[in-house]
Amino acid sequence: MDPGTVATMRKPRCSLPDVLGVAGLVRRRRRYALSGSVWKKQTLTWRVRSFPQSSQLSQETVRVLMSYALMAWGMESGLTFHEVDSPQGQEPDILIDFARAFHQDSYPFDGLGGTLAHAFFPGEHPISGDTHFDDEETWTFGSKASRQPKQELAGGSPVDEELGFSRGWHVNPLGPGSSEHLS
């Protein structure tokens, strides 16, 4: 393997496996793969339930970045996303959490580096659509210089990819939709 391929393979990433199959053999590639599950409604609610503890980002900044990522997915999908503030009442369709290690979903995080995030496809299960980010990562926005690995919460980042999973799309990490902003 060439050095570029090895470097790409060593980048931190989400915990879902690559899905290449027959679609990877054709010349024209989609930037996503359909999961087979879809939302049964066009308007979805979301809420950030827990915020990054290891980050200097304010809760407001995290909420705004998530909102912009969902707005981008909405433009591509025709879905509408509305943030709900109150933890009281009906649970939102998509809960966003920053969590560490074992966090009650059978997909533990592995600490700094490695797995960055994971999300669950649409469906009727209570965890469907939920999106989890590894809180042992140092999450940033607009930061360039660093001695410590940081994960960018912005366009082309794990946020875009994981919120796509929760929408029912899988971004091909080796194709045009791959995240190149990870460090």
* Residue positions forming the annotated binding site: 14, 93, 103, 105, 110-111, 118, 130, 132, 134-135, 137
Q: How far, in Å, CA of 99 to CA of 52, rounded?
A: 8
Q: Smallest Cα–Cα separation from 165: which of 12, 17, 1?
A: 17
Q: What are the binding residues for Zn(2+)?
A: 14, 103, 105, 118, 132
What tokens does 43 get? 């308007």
Q: Please list the alpha-helical segments (H only) found in 53-157.
A: 59-77
Q: Smallest Cα–Cα separation from 42: which of 17, 78, 11?
A: 78
Q: How far, in Å, CA of 118 to CA of 168, rounded?
A: 13
DSSP-based three-state secondary structure for 33? strand
Strands (DSSP E) contained in 94-178 are: 94-99, 117-119, 131-134, 138-140, 150-152, 169-171
**Number of Cβ within a 10 Å radius of residue 148:** 9
The CA R_g of the chain, rounded to the nearest whole Å, is 16
Q: What are the binding residues for Ca(2+)?
A: 93, 110-111, 130, 134-135, 137
